Amino acid sequence: MDRRNASLLIEKGRYRARLAQCAQDLARAQTLRHLAFHGREGRDADAFDVLSSHILVEDMCSGVLVGCCRFQPLDAGAISQSYAAQYYELSGLERFDGTLVELGRFCVAPGRGDPDILRLAWAMLTRYVDENDVKMLFGCASFSGTDATRYRDAFAMLRERHLAPDRWRPRVKAPQVVRFDAGPWAKVDTKRALLAMPPLLRSYLMMGGWVSDHAVVDRQMNTLHVFTGLEIAAIPPARKRLLRADAA
């Protein structure tokens, strides 16, 4: 695990965010991930865990882990080694000028709907981005289940308002995808679209993020996921001020 930023620690209200420091910390994150993604006890682990740093959000009153995510810095030329590159053809991003950070396995403990958990995780990421001159965040945002009809408004909204610039846009690589230009998609109902989107994706979009033009059908995780990118320079100034206030 990366210890270059091991001193990162933020406490707000009842929660504390910090970086994982040991194998036990990583095991706790893997256990929470399995519970959040699969609804039962177990360990969600893969080869990317040892390459990544892990943010833990804990309830300071009980010590319980209530949220986590992992991140891995990459040069653009190494983007083919990312988790997302298993599912998306990312050669366009090899031309990106600057350090990228891949976010993954972002989750909150079931039954913990407090938005401060997500805010604190973003605060930690903001501090890391500022201290390490990161130029882009990217990852896969997941919709629960594999029935695309449940998300017709959300996918129509992504198609109409949030597609990646053509020069960076991920191309199809996975064997089974849902293309956003393949109808019939309903006219966008913005309220329904936003309610159907995962909180992480809504956070990306509020900051100016963009998405792939298709969703990947991931039957192993029982999700439909979309590639999501966020160029740091494109974040609106007012949003940057809020993020940095939380990170202070």
pLDDT digits (tens, 9 = 90+) for 73-92: 999 889 999 999 999 999 99
Backbone angles phi, psi at 173, to 5 degrees: -135, -40
In the chain, the percentage of residues whose pLDDT exceeds 90 is 87
- Kindly indicate the confidence band of residue 95, based on its pLDDT and cuts at 50, 70 and 90: very high
Report yes or no on 10 lying in a domain: no
Report yes or no on 92 lying in a domain: yes
pLDDT greater than 70 at residue 5? no
Distance in angstroms (rounded) separating the CA atoms of residues 118 and 148 = 26
Domain that holds residue 221: 69-247
Report yes or no on 8 lying in a domain: no
Distance in angstroms (rounded) separating the CA atoms of residues 61 and 121 = 18
Report yes or no on 242 lying in a domain: yes
Task: Please state whether the peptide bond connecting residue 73 to the residue before it is cis, i.e. omega within 30 degrees of 0.
Answer: no
Report yes or no on 1 lying in a domain: no
Polymer length in residues for the chain? 248
Report yes or no on 42 lying in a domain: no
What's the number of domains the chain is made of? 1
- How much is the pLDDT for 182? 61
Its pTM stands at 0.92
- Top pLDDT among 247 and 139 is at 139
Report yes or no on 24 lying in a domain: no
Report yes or no on 221 lying in a domain: yes
Whether the CB-CB separation of 66 and 15 falls below 8 Å is answered with yes
